[in-house]
């Protein structure tokens, strides 16, 4: 016949969270001490499980954090690399492309100027082109390489009366040049042209059509130089 003590022990064994309850010396422990020991052991097991869950969450969290940090670092690197890069951006507006193109032209940077042309670009009526049309970057470069020599010590080009319609820019321009080595006291010669048109696609010039020459533009500019108060 099973004693009451054995039945209590069996019930405790069934509900005991400790994997090996036989390690407890029940003969030397009264009921209260035994239950207190079980409670302590159960608490320890719970703490171990909690630490395991925390470590699991951390292991799950860190890969995402590391990936986010990599993305941030790569983004910063791209921004830093693009700083100071004169290459036209694909999302630049036609007016921005024209302004940056003029800056490159005025600096005498032929390579920088050519960065703004699409590979199959067409330039019509270039002032230095006797044929009237240049197709592709190879032919256009031949023209652009002559420009710095004609600029001399001049101020280069100035675009005025700019009108943007979609991806096309219409404008007048004046081209200034002084003899090489001349100081700023020498009035530059001026070449003007009206109704020039530039077509821009994906940040590149695909068509550049020079308009007819205009003496009026330069005469107006020269008059403004000697107007009262200037």
Residue 212 has what pLDDT? 92
Residue 173 and residue 195 in contact, taking contact as beta carbons nearer than 8 Å:
no
Write the CB contacts of 213 (distance below 8 Å, at least 6 apart in sequence).
127, 191, 192, 193
36 phi, psi to nearest 5 deg: -65, -40
- pLDDT, residue 180, reads 74
> Residues 78, 191: contact at Cβ < 8 Å?
no
Length of the chain: 230
Checking if the pLDDT of 29 tops 80, the result is no
Q: Is the pLDDT of residue 130 over 70?
A: yes
* pLDDT tier at 47, thresholds 50, 70, 90: low
Position 2 confidence tier, pLDDT thresholds 50, 70, 90: low
Confidence check: pLDDT of 127 > 80: yes
Tell me which of 85 and 189 has the higher pLDDT. 189
What average pLDDT does range 135-156 have in this prediction?
A: 86
When mean pLDDT is compared across 30-44, 168-182, 190-204, the lowest value belongs to 30-44
d(CA 205, CA 63): 45
What is the structure's pLDDT at 156?
A: 85
For residue 142, the model assigns a pLDDT of 93
Global pTM exceeds 0.75: no
User: Could you tell me which of 148, 174, 176, 173 has the C-alpha nearest to residue 163?
Assistant: 173
Q: Determine the Cα–Cα distance for residues 49 and 119; give it in Å rounded to an integer.
A: 66
Does residue 76 carry a pLDDT above 60? Answer: no
CA distances from 166 to 12, 93, 95, 201 (A): 85, 9, 10, 10
CA distance 37 to 32: 9
- Model pLDDT, residue 193: 93
| Residue whose C-alpha is closest to residue 214's, from 155, 131, 129, 127 | 127
Q: Say whether 145 sits in a helix, a strand or coil.
A: coil
The pLDDT tens digits for 151-171 are 776 678 899 999 999 999 999
Provide CB contacts within 8 A for 174, sequence distance 6+: 157, 158, 160, 190, 191, 192, 217, 218, 221
How many angstroms separate the CA atoms of 212 and 195, rounded?
Answer: 7
**pLDDT of 224 higher than 70:** yes
């Amino acid at each position: 016949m099973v004693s009451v003590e054995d039945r209590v022990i069996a019930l405790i064994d069934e509900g005991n969270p400790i994997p090996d309850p036989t390690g407890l010396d029940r003969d030397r422990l009264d009921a209260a001490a035994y239950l207190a020991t079980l409670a302590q052991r159960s608490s320890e097991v719970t703490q171990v499980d909690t630490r395991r869950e925390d470590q699991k969450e951390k292991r799950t969290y860190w890969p995402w954090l590391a990936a986010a940090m990599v993305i941030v670092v790569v983004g910063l690197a791209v921004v830093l690399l693009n700083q100071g890069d004169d290459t036209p951006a694909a999302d630049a507006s036609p007016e921005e492309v024209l302004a940056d193109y003029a800056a490159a032209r005025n600096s005498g940077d032929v390579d920088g100027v050519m960065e703004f042309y699409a590979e199959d670009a067409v330039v019509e009526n270039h002032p230095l082109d006797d044929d009237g049309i240049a197709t592709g970057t190879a032919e256009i470069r031949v023209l652009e390489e002559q420009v710095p020599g004609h600029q001399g010590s001049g101020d280069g080009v100035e675009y005025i009366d700019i009108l943007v319609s979609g991806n096309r820019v219409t404008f007048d321009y004046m081209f200034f040049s002084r003899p090489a080595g001349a100081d700023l006291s020498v009035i530059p010669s001026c070449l003007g042209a009206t109704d020039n048109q530039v077509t821009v696609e994906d940040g590149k010039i695909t068509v550049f059509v020079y308009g007819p020459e205009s003496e009026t533009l330069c005469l107006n500019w020269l008059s403004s130089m000697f107007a009262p108060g200037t």
